[in-house]
Structure 1
């Protein structure tokens, strides 16, 4: 065997040894990575999310910690039938299987009820429409209060005994009372307001354009003419019988004409 052949064989042997070593290293690295991922991601390790609804966050935190879970409050809501500050919702839901180290997002009940604008139902909706709008907005209703007005028409909304203004905000879940018309409409006030200052009288004292009303019209009074008997002149006295009274007319006075100085008193004689 020549020198050249020996060198070529040794070179080939080292080459294949290197290839084998690289394969082994790659396999070892793959095993380490996969095992590390399983450990890091807790593969195959699942826990059940406990039911903590209605509990306080500090009480639920211990239960989450024992299971390797992390609790975090992210938002608030409001329910009047639940204690203030208690847990209302959680994500993921109770009973689901999650891996350890999973963050559980909590929604707790607000201490104070949020404010909400009361729908504008006064003077523009019926009782049924107003009740539907208020209940949908999250308010509660007491029996309606009847007031004088058109039947089943809303004339106001009461909160704690006072009337709510348009656009006012009150706590959600508040108890409201609707003021509903009982069908008793006072027409006399409307008629007097409509005709005040608008009635015109003609020359005979009658209404020229009377406003029509539902009340029966009174019969028109007919003027009664009273005829008086002519008075007879008293007979003349016997003493003045046949004697006519004469009226003397005053004659107008004539202005005095100035006399001619050259004329003599005797009109027929001249100087």
Structure 2
């Protein structure tokens, strides 16, 4: 073979080498076009909202590879439905192109319940939306903090912040309605059982305020009220008035108190018991 090369003129060998190089380049380009399907394009079908198995079968049949890129959760879509695809539907791409899919999760993710108490209604609504939770019923109760969240509940049960719930849960809110415009006489709670006093206040739209125990209270539910603020009567013996949404602080004790009556003025209204009147 080397004799053949050496016995030929140099210019002939150079022409043969150049021709061989061009032939190799031509063969390479032809094979590259074959393997890459140069000039062959497909239109990406729309697989949105289809089940992942159905979408995969359709894409594979039309010459695409499928990769599940991510998963999200939307309670308005069916489990394992395609939420997003890339390339977009109707895009023209080469054969064997990978189509990336984002799929709706089959099981809702578990999240922590945020603390909405004290927020304004608007901020609470935005917080629920950001956490993937739904706003349920909103009810109002007399309170000085108008439109502020006073309580949060799921399935009619108060839910504490940090409690594990599923995304998409419905959260109901109790909001402050502000202070009422109509004044009413301050109720007389003296001598009442604590639970009875609280029930009376709530029935009249008055908020139970601070509860101050007299020493050690064995059973708060069985204790008795011996003082309140504001009191039923003022220093002049006139009725004090209160509005819905305002608060009354109460003092409680283990033993039922007995009100002292001034024998010299037995018909006069009592301005309220002192701390030692029990």
TM-score band, normalised by the shorter chain?
0.5 to 0.7
Aligned residue for 1:87?
82
Instruction: Rate the CA distance shift 1:86–1:190 in 2: closer, same or farther, 3 A.
Output: closer
Displacement of 1:15: 0.7
1:119-138 alignment, distance < 5 Å: 119-122=114-117, 124-138=118-132
Compute the RMSD of aligned alpha carbons.
3.1
Instruction: Rate the CA distance shift 1:214–1:14 in 2: closer, same or farther, 3 A.
Output: farther
The question of whether the paired residues in 2 share the 8 Å contact of 1:118 and 1:134 is answered with no
Of residues 81-90 and 175-184 in structure 1, the stretch that sits farther from structure 2 once superposed is 175-184
More strand by share: 2
Displacement of 1:216: 3.5
**Within the alignment, does 1:186 sit opposite 2:206 as a pair?**
yes
Displacement of 1:58: 2.3
Distance in 2 (alpha carbons) for counterparts of 1:183 and 1:66: 64
1:120-159 alignment, distance < 5 Å: 120-122=115-117, 124-150=118-144, 151-159=146-154
The gaps in structure 1 that reach 5 residues or longer are: 1-10, 198-210, 225-271
Structure number with bigger Rg: 1
Displacement of 1:17: 0.8
Spell out, residue by residue over 1:21-44, the C-alpha distance to the aligned partner (whole angstroms, 9 max, x if none).
Answer: 001001101101111111121110
Q: Report SS of the residue matched to 1:24.
A: helix
Q: Which has the higher contact order (CA 8 A, sep 6+)?
A: 2
Distance in 2 (alpha carbons) for counterparts of 1:56 and 1:132: 31
Aligned residue for 1:24?
19
Displacement of 1:160: 1.1
Displacement of 1:164: 1.1
Spell out, residue by residue over 1:203-237, the C-alpha distance to the aligned partner (whole angstroms, 9 max, x if none).
Answer: xxxxxxxx88796323599x89xxxxxxxxxxxxx
Distance in 2 (alpha carbons) for counterparts of 1:98 and 1:128: 46
Aligned residue for 2:234?
216
How many equivalent residue pairs? 199
Distance in 2 (alpha carbons) for counterparts of 1:61 and 1:128: 42
Distance in 2 (alpha carbons) for counterparts of 1:32 and 1:143: 73
- After superposing on structure 2, the runs of 4+ consecutive aligned residues of structure 1 that deviate more than 6 Å are 211-214
Instruction: Rate the CA distance shift 1:115–1:97 in 2: closer, same or farther, 3 A.
Output: same
Of residues 150-159 and 37-46 in structure 1, the stretch that sits farther from structure 2 once superposed is 150-159
Q: Report SS of the residue matched to 2:171.
A: strand
Spell out, residue by residue over 1:174-231, the C-alpha distance to the aligned partner (whole angstroms, 9 max, x if none).
Answer: 11100112336636x548x46x76xxxxxxxxxxxxx88796323599x89xxxxxxx
